[in-house]
């Protein structure tokens, strides 16, 4: 833990007044308390031209310690789902190389399962491309949500965008990153941990086939539980307008699920959501100045973290 | 496998390009150097809340309501998870509790 608590951050500001994070597991539940724009302007390694190798090592290490506990449920879910995917490919006659490469390069769970069927039907890359666009259309909204958060992260940014699967987005868009943790490295570790779980799971599944040692029926629920917990955290830690935004998401997708069925409801839901947000903009657009995000904006521009610190203290 | 290896590889590359396009497009259309339009900033602020809601529905989309277990394991597990979370606010505990209840129900009861 010592490495994570360097009293001086990369830009030389003293952070002595900062609450020191306790054990990672313990801190996890508080950190995930969701508010997208509560992410403080954490020091970035990019601006520390004079930072030594040792310092950047400890910055990187501290971020891993903050990020890892949040990925534990995903570890469980991804090893299991990845393995089922590898096993599925194995039973269809593919060597483990296929699930290994597909999980590393496609890295979008549901699309990989769809691709297994594509590989078993007639050769049609254009249809495969269009299907990938439709199945993954929700990523467009993830991107819009993270435009601001991924700003100024330099070489890490392309990988963060590449690896933004549902679970990684859910963590990165809602995690309350402590002030003394580097934002870029935090995102990077969440993304890298999650991807490695998935690739390892898929590869191992492809290698061992269907000889799992214990009954894993129902384990896939761990990812449902993750989304529900993040949703709850957002709900419990926010006020009326955020609730309205969350309800728009739930109701529009529920309605579209009933109308269009489980396989085709994603794109209609996104369309309904978009319309609802545009129509309700007069009600919802004051969301920003009214919450911490406004304080965050100011802090970003003036390089002064005091406001956020105060916000955090009042919240805690 | 009905395709040749190269046909398989090309299919996968097509899927990779399609997937990556959906991930990179917003960042290409609204590059770091330029201030995005006000409405895009607004959507970026409200969408995370809605998308988490959508992901919950998405994760539960295949729950059988009218057949089989009638969604009882899902409902029970979600109820336990919500109760645990309101009580302790511990993310890992809530996830573990909900998942264990679900696994026990689907393995032993339904």
Comparison of pLDDT for A159 and A42, the residue scoring more? A159
Chain A residues in contact with B82 (beta carbon < 8 A): 228, 232
Q: Is the pLDDT of residue A272 over 50?
A: yes
How far A106 CA lies from chain B's nearest CA (Å)? 5
pLDDT at A25: 40
Model pTM greater than 0.80? no
Chain A residues in contact with B11 (beta carbon < 8 A): 115, 118-119, 123-125, 128
Chain B residues in contact with A74 (beta carbon < 8 A): none
- Angle among Cα A228, A234, A240 to the nearest 5 degrees reads 125
Chain B residues in contact with A238 (beta carbon < 8 A): 49
Report d(CA A3, CA A5) in Å as an integer: 6
pLDDT at B86: 92
- State the average pLDDT for chain A: 76
Q: Which of B10, B41, B54 best tests the A interface by mutation, with the highest count of A CBs <10 A?
A: B54
Inter-chain contact B50–A143, Cβ cutoff 8 Å?
no
Phi, psi (deg, nearest 5) at residue B66: -95, -15
A305 — pLDDT class (breaks 50, 70, 90):
very low
Report d(CA A161, CA B94) in Å as an integer: 29
Nearest to A164 by CA among B20, B63, B55: B20
How far A232 CA lies from chain B's nearest CA (Å)? 8
Inter-chain contact A73–B92, Cβ cutoff 8 Å?
yes
pLDDT at A135: 83
Residue ranges of chain B with per-residue pLDDT less than 70: 1-2
pLDDT at A53: 62
Tokens found for residue A51: 């930072």
Decide if B100 touches A, using CB distance below 8 A.
no
Residue B62 parent element (H or E): none
How far B75 CA lies from chain A's nearest CA (Å)? 12
pLDDT at A116: 86
Q: Which of A160, A221, A267 best tests the B interface by mutation, with the highest count of B CBs <10 A?
A: A221
């Amino acid at each position: 833990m010592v490495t994570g608590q360097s009293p001086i951050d990369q830009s030389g500001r003293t952070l002595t007044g900062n609450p020191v994070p306790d054990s990672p597991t313990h801190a996890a539940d508080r950190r995930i308390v969701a508010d997208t724009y509560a992410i403080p302007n954490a020091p970035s390694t990019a601006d520390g031209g004079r930072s030594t190798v040792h310092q950047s090592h400890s910055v990187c290490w501290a971020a891993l310690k903050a990020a890892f506990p949040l990925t534990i449920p995903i570890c469980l879910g991804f090893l299991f789902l990845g393995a089922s995917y590898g096993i599925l490919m194995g039973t269809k006659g593919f060597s483990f190389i296929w699930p290994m490469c597909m999980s590393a390069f496609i890295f979008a769970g549901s699309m990989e399962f769809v691709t297994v069927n594509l590989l078993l039907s007639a050769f049609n890359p254009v249809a495969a491309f269009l299907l990938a666009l439709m199945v993954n259309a929700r990523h467009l909204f993830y991107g819009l949500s993270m435009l601001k958060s991924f700003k100024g992260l330099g070489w890490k940014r392309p990988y963060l965008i590449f690896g933004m699967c549902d679970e990684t987005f859910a963590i990165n868009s809602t995690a309350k990153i402590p002030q003394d943790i580097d934002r870029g490295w935090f995102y990077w570790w969440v993304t890298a941990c999650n991807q490695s779980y998935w690739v390892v799971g898929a590869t191992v599944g492809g290698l061992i086939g269907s000889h799992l040692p214990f009954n894993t029926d129902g384990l896939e629920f761990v990812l449902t539980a993750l989304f529900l917990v993040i949703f709850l955290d957002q709900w419990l830690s926010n006020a009326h307008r955020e609730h309205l935004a969350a309800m728009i998401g739930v109701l529009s997708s529920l309605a579209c699920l009933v109308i269009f069925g489980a396989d085709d409801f994603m794109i209609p839901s996104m369309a309904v959501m978009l319309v609802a947000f545009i129509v309700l903009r007069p009600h919802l657009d004051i969301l920003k100045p009214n919450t911490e995000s406004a304080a965050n904006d100011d802090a970003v521009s003036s390089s002064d973290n005091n406001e956020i610190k105060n916000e955090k203290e009042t919240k805690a | 496998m009905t395709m040749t290896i190269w046909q398989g590889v090309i299919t996968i590359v097509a899927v990779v390009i399609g997937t990556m396009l959906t991930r990179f497009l917003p960042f290409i259309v609204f590059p770091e150097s330029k201030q995005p339009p006000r409405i895009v900033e607004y959507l970026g602020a409200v969408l995370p809340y809605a998308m988490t809601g959508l992901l919950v529905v998405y994760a539960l989309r295949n729950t059988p309501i009218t057949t089989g277990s009638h969604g009882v394991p899902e409902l029970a597990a979600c109820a336990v998870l919500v109760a645990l979370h309101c009580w302790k606010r511990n993310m890992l505990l809530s996830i573990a509790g909900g998942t264990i209840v679900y696994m026990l129900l689907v393995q032993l009861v339904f």
